[in-house]
Amino acid sequence: MNSKINKMAILFLLLITFSLSCKDENRTPEPAMHEETVFFNGTVYTVNASQPWAEALYIKDGIIEYVGDSEEAKNRVSENAQVIDLEGAFMMPGIHDVHLHPLEAATDNFQFILDDNIADPEDYAADISDAVQQNPGTDWLLGWGHWIDVPLSATRLPKEIIDEVAPDRPVAIMEQTSHSIWCNSKALELMGIDNNTPDPPGGIIMREADGEANGLLIDNAGNLLLDIALAPTAERAQNDYAGLTEFALPELAKYGITSICDARTYWKREHHLTWKKVADENKLTVRANLGLWAYPDEDDANQIAMLKSLYSNDANSLLKFNQIKLYCDGIIHNTTSAMHDDYLLDYFELSTNNGLNYFSQQRIADYITELESTGFDFHIHAIGNRGVHEALNAIEESGTAQGRHRITHVEYVDPTDLNRFESLNVTADAQVAGDFTQPAHWHDNDYLIGPALNENIIPLKSLREAGARITLSSDWDVSALNPFVGLQNAVTRSPQEISLEEAIKAYTINGAYVMRQEGTVGSIEVGKEADLIILDRNIFEIPATQINQTTVEATYLQGTLIYEK
């Protein structure tokens, strides 16, 4: 996850949105099934190249039976059919968001938030002390919200700032990007970290010259802390379940999102069981493919066997466990994304200074060899140009025509690798909803890697011209969930913009491809299931700079209304 957003402000807005959604006029209604429905007198953008536009469609038992003109559609229905006059409204296929973290975004297992505008780490002490008082107990106290630069600037060990207000209780605070953890001495003690503990794969335990851990855990070292702090309990499972059913799923429906990929399903924390419970209770209002997390520190043989045992691809279920999420590298902001050249600053004083690998190229290739034949597709996090290159190499070595793998983030792509996406059938999954991805912010990291590499961050246009299949996604809750923010940014980010038609494909039929459901949804065509959304405006007829103001009037999943404004 990689963004610079104000989490406090986002949480406040989300809470306001949630409270409003609970009111009768804007609530998610109970699904109302109709055997026959006809929509007529509309502006229907189908994303079907052979019939891109229509004015009506007829649906029977959730399946699209006709797409075309209004009179013919109305002639097909029986007297008991639901007939809906769109009154010229714009309709399109439901949105696919193939990289987001709905369970993590919605859970209450993190208890407090830090203001991200504070520059002096000592100024956080009072807020952490308040969190300790407001959340009594001896169990882990978890928060998030700072930037790594702040504790890095401390004049004493960062852990001592927390120790002073919480000496006996484990406290851990996730950085905005999720790629580092700031913790106290008690947390390090419970992790078993001492002067001789080696860095884990894909992680760094920051230390003083004498080997003492200073309280900053980088990338996978922080993940190991969270695996302990968020070990499954009945209370944590209930928090995850409530967050998913009461907040995340309604939010998805509100934004017209009918298909998703959970981009990091921590099976050790039993996240997959939470999803399964929701599906078993028929509360799932979205098609969901889970990306089972590949733990960098696990024994490969044992982990591969476990992942194979979890595979599930029931064609009759909205929920599938059929993807593997693994990280090739870290992020640029923490100097852990894998780059060909060294960073200009050296935070960690290791033997190398060009980023790190959660999984090496060869390990990724080995996992593809073992798991692609089971049916898994790989969702590989790669931000740096070396990370993208190594991920492509691994797929080239071990992938087959069976795989539908994708590399997500693709912030820095070497020009020589652009054509390889098409030749290897690798999807480039990008997130452009965050302001940091816009050209005005491209040179924010010049001090880390120099200006030349920052000329074309997330090169959408270059990838498209090279023939790559592109998907657009949110990485929620790092960036805005609203897909119309992403659509607007995708078409306005000159010189790396794409057309509106291509951006819509990236959110619909291309997303359906990576979820292996392009024959079922992703476009409005006869024989496909009716995942549809109705918008308050025709996004083809407004200035591109106003697309982000679009709102969803109604969302349908399999022809069933799941949201109505």
pLDDT of residue 34: 55
Phi, psi of 296 (to 5 degrees): -65, -25
pLDDT of residue 116: 84
Is 90 exceeded by the pLDDT of residue 2? no
Residue 175 is encoded by which pair of tokens?
């950085």
The tens digit of pLDDT for each residue in 500-531 reads: 999 999 999 999 999 999 999 999 999 999 99
Distance CA 77, CA 51 (A): 22
The tens digit of pLDDT for each residue in 22-37 reads: 333 333 444 445 589 9
- Which of helix, strand or coil describes residue 503? helix
Is 60 exceeded by the pLDDT of residue 424? yes
Report the share of the chain in percent with pLDDT over 90.
Answer: 90
Distance CA 79, CA 39 (A): 15
Taking Cα atoms as reference points, which of 210, 211, 113, 214 lies closest to residue 163?
A: 214
Residue 491 is encoded by which pair of tokens?
């078409």
pLDDT of residue 82: 95
pLDDT of residue 19: 36
Pair 3, 176: CB distance under 8 Å? yes
Q: Which residues contact 102 (CB under 8 A, 6 or more apart)?
A: 244, 248, 249, 251, 252, 260, 262, 476
Please name every residue paired with 446 in a beta bridge, in sequence order, or none if there are none: none
Q: Where does the pLDDT of residue 15 fall: very low under 50, low under 70, confident under 90, or very high at 90 and above?
A: very low
pLDDT of residue 353: 96
Strands (E), 338-443: 377-382, 406-409, 427-430
Torsion angle in degrees (nearest 10) through CA of 509, 512, 517, 521? -50
Q: Where does the pLDDT of residue 336 fall: very low under 50, low under 70, confident under 90, or very high at 90 and above?
A: very high
Is 60 exceeded by the pLDDT of residue 17? no
Is 60 exceeded by the pLDDT of residue 6? no
Arithmetic mean of pLDDT, 438-461: 96
Q: Which residues contact 315 (CB under 8 A, 6 or more apart)?
A: none
The tens digit of pLDDT for each residue in 168-207 reads: 999 999 998 889 999 999 999 999 999 999 999 999 999 9
Would you say the C-alpha torsion 259, 364, 2, 166 has a positive or negative sign? positive
Pair 97, 134: CB distance under 8 Å? no
Q: Where does the pLDDT of residue 227 fall: very low under 50, low under 70, confident under 90, or very high at 90 and above?
A: very high
Tell which phi-psi region holds residue 525, choosing left (phi > 0), alpha (psi between -120 and 50) or beta.
beta
Sheet holding 171-174, edge to edge: 112-113, 141-144, 171-174, 180-183, 213-219, 203-207
The tens digit of pLDDT for each residue in 425-436 reads: 999 999 999 998
The tens digit of pLDDT for each residue in 360-403 reads: 999 999 999 999 999 999 999 999 999 999 999 999 999 999 99
The DSSP call for residue 170 is -
Residue owning tokens 């498209």: 464
Arithmetic mean of pLDDT, 51-60: 98
Arithmetic mean of pLDDT, 310-330: 97
Residue 286 is encoded by which pair of tokens?
């979205």
pLDDT of residue 477: 87
Distance CA 525, CA 67 (A): 7
Distance CA 168, CA 138 (A): 8
Would you say the C-alpha torsion 550, 539, 105, 496 has a positive or negative sign? negative
Is 70 exceeded by the pLDDT of residue 126? yes
Rounded to the nearest 5 percent, the helix, strand and coil shares of the chain are: 35, 20, 45
Residue owning tokens 């979205």: 286
Residue 34 is encoded by which pair of tokens?
């109709």
Strands (E), 29-68: 36-40, 43-45, 53-54, 56-60, 63-68
Is 80 exceeded by the pLDDT of residue 152? yes
Arithmetic mean of pLDDT, 142-157: 94
pLDDT of residue 5: 34
Arithmetic mean of pLDDT, 83-88: 97
pTM of the complete model: 0.92
Angle, helices 271-280 vs 234-243, to 10°: value is 60
Residue 144 is encoded by which pair of tokens?
């998030």
Domains and CATH numbers, the chain: 31-94+523-565 (2.30.40.10), 96-102+233-520 (3.20.20.140), 110-229 (3.10.310.70)
Average pLDDT, the chain: 93
Report the share of the chain in percent with pLDDT over 70.
Answer: 94
Sheet holding 532-535, edge to edge: 53-54, 43-45, 90-93, 532-535, 552-557, 560-564
Taking Cα atoms as reference points, which of 428, 442, 363, 422 lies closest to residue 398?
A: 363
Residue 142 is encoded by which pair of tokens?
């978890």
Is 50 exceeded by the pLDDT of residue 14? no
